[in-house]
């Protein structure tokens, strides 16, 4: 999120050719504290989608629990 970006604590999930990842890693570590190589092209994006889906499921569960508690 914005707070992590300002603090330089972003996580980068990167897919692509490993040699190109190695070349870009130094630049990415200037912006984030966690840089993860995920494999072939597209795997970084797939990992990010999975992470976002897990967060959404967690938030839906929290909202449903709050709704139940209020009722």
Annotated domain spans of the chain:
1-70
Give residues with Cβ within 8 angstroms of 27, minimum separation 6.
none
Give residues with Cβ within 8 angstroms of 46, minimum separation 6.
15, 38
Look at residue 7 and tell me whether its pLDDT is greater than 90: no
Helices within 1-71 (DSSP H only): 2-7, 18-31, 43-70
Percent of the residues in the chain that have a pLDDT greater than 70, as a whole number: 100
Residue 30 and residue 40: Cα distance in Å, rounded? 23
Residue 23 and residue 62: Cα distance in Å, rounded? 41
Does the annotation mark 25 as catalytic?
A: no
Look at residue 12 and tell me whether its pLDDT is greater than 90: yes
Catalytic residue chosen out of the listed positions 13, 29, 48, 68: 48
């Amino acid at each position: 999120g914005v707070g992590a970006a300002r603090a330089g604590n972003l996580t980068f999930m990167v897919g692509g050719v490993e040699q190109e990842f190695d070349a870009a890693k130094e630049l990415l570590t200037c912006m984030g504290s966690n840089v993860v190589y995920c494999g072939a092209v597209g795997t970084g994006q797939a990992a990010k989608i999975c992470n976002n889906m897990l967060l959404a499921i967690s938030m839906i569960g929290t909202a449903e629990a709050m709704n139940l508690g209020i009722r």
